[in-house]
Structure 1
Amino acid sequence: MFELKRGDSGSESASEASIVSQPQLYAQALDRYDYYELNSLFDHYHSGDWNVPAAVAETTSLVEAYNEFFDQDRNAWELNQAQRLVIVAEEITSQTRQSARWLRDRGLDIQAVEVQRFEAPSGDMFFGATTIVDYDETRTKTPARSSPGDRAFTIRVFTTAFPKIKDTLCAPSMDPLLGNLTTNYPYLESQATDHPAPVRYALRVNPYDDKEIKVAIDASGDGNTNAANQLRENRDLFREQGFSVSQRDSMRIVVDTWEGIEVSDLRQEEFIKRVAARYVDLVTLGHEVFNAG
C-alpha cells in the first residue's frame, strides 16, 4: 500500500495521524481479497481506458501480468499473502517517522521514503529516494514450502455446512471453532463435552500441487491415541458411508478425497455443496462414534 504525499508528510489536508492510518485501512481492506477478487479488478483495469504497459496488455490474467511485468514465476495463491505499507513524501516529518517506527517495531511491515526531484546542469530531471524508516525483510518472506489453500472456497464450504452441524459441534457461531484458515489445513474443532480434544474435522485444500480436496478427521496432539483407535474400531461404519480409514495415529485417520481438482472447480456452486455435504457426513459420523464410546 502506497500513501503518496506532495510536500512533507503532514502537508495539505492530511493530518499527521492520517498519514499512517490511511495506508493501514487500505491494507486491511485489501487483505480480505482473494486472488479471484483481485483478478476481477485486473480485468476492469485491463479492459478500461487506461495506459496499460505493453507487457500487461498482452496478458489475460493477474498472475500472468504480474509474472510478465516483474519477470517472476509466481502461482496465483502466492499473490496478496502479505501487506507492506509505504509512505512516500518529499519530506518525512519527525512525527511521521516516530509513528512509522512505532508500528514497525510492533510487527507491521512499513516504510517511510523521501523522494526529491533534482535538475542536472544539462536541464535533465531525475529523482533520488532515501528510505527513512525501513522494515525487516525477513518478516515478509514467505516460507519456501508454504502452500496456502483457497480461503474463499474454505469459507464457502464451512458456512454452507455449519448450519447443519452447529448443534452437533455445540457452538452458536463458527468463529471459536475455526483454525488454520489461511493455510491448506483449515479445520473446525468441536465444543461438545464428550468430544476428545484436539480431534479436528479438517478440510484439506490443495488444488495447486496435489490437485486434491480432502475432508478428514485428525487426532493430533499428545494423548489422542485412544481417539485414533476409537475411530479405527468403527471403520465399518465409516466405510459404509464411503470414507476410508487409515492406520495413522494423528493426521487423516478418516478421509474422503476428490482428485484431479482444478482451481476453477472451487468456484462451482455444485462442487461446494457436494464437499460441504460430505463434511457434514464426516462430522456427524465422528460424533456418533465418540458419543457411543
Structure 2
Amino acid sequence: MPELPEVETTRRGIAPHLLGRRVLDVVVREPRLRWPVTAALAEGLCGQTVTAVTRRGKYLLLGNDRGHALLHLGMSGSLRILPADAPVGRHDHLDLVLEGGRCLRLTDPRRFGAALWAGPAPFEHPLLRALGPEPFDARFDAAYLRTQAQGRRAAVKTFIMDSHVVVGVGNIYASEALFLAGIHPQRAAGRVSHERYGALVEAIREVLTQAIEAGGTTLRDFVGSEGRPGYFRQSLRVYERAGAPCRRCGTPLRAVRLGQRSSYYCPHCQR
C-alpha cells in the first residue's frame, strides 16, 4: 500500500502540472471505487482552477475556490500526468482533463482508492477529522507520545501505526524507525520512557525524510506520478530482512507477527 512517502512523492510530482490549471472535464470510467464516485466531484472541479495540492496523512487534496477534492491511492493506485488523449488501460478509472492538453489519471487495479468531493471544509470530512498529527508537526514530540501511551499495553509498533495517534507511519516505516530508535516492536507502548519516545520521534522523521527523498519504497505495485518506482527499498535496514545480518551489529534479524503484520527487528540492538 502506498504510504506517506509515496503519497508525498506523488503530490510533489503532480503539483507543478496542476497548480494554476483549469479542470475542463472529469471523465469517470469506473465509479465503483472504495466509495462511489459521485456527480459532486465533477460539479466541484469542472471549470475551476486548481489553487492548492496538499496532503493529509495518505490523502491528497486538490483545492479550488469551491472546495477540495479528496483522493486516496488505496492498495495499488497511482496518479500520473499524461496527454489527455493517451490510450486508456483496463484499470484507468478516472481522468481530470486539464487545460493545455493534459490530464491527471487515476489508475487503480484493485479499486480500493477513492475520488471524493470534500467541500470547503475538508478537514471536517469523516475521513480526516479524527486523524492524529503529521509526523513533521511541532506538536508531534516525546511529550505527546508519552501522554497518548499512558496505560497502553498494546505493542509500541501497533501504537505508532494508529492513524489516530500519528498519521503516515505504515508497517515498513514503523519497523525501520523502531530499529533506529533501538526499541523492540513488542514493547508495551505505556512502558516506553519519555527519552526513548524522543528518539523514536526523531527516527520516524529521519526514516520518512529519507524515503521521500528516495521517491518512496517499491514493494509490489507502487510507481510515482511519472511512472518511476521509488528506491528507498534499497536502503531498508530491517524490513523483509529476517535471517540477514543486522547492518549495525551482525546479529541475524528476526520477524514476529503483530496485528496480522510482519514486524522485523534486531534482537540485540532493540530492547
Give the number of the structure whose alpha-carbon radius of gyration is greater: 1
What is the TM-score normalised by the length of structure 1?
0.24
What is the TM-score normalised by the length of structure 2?
0.26
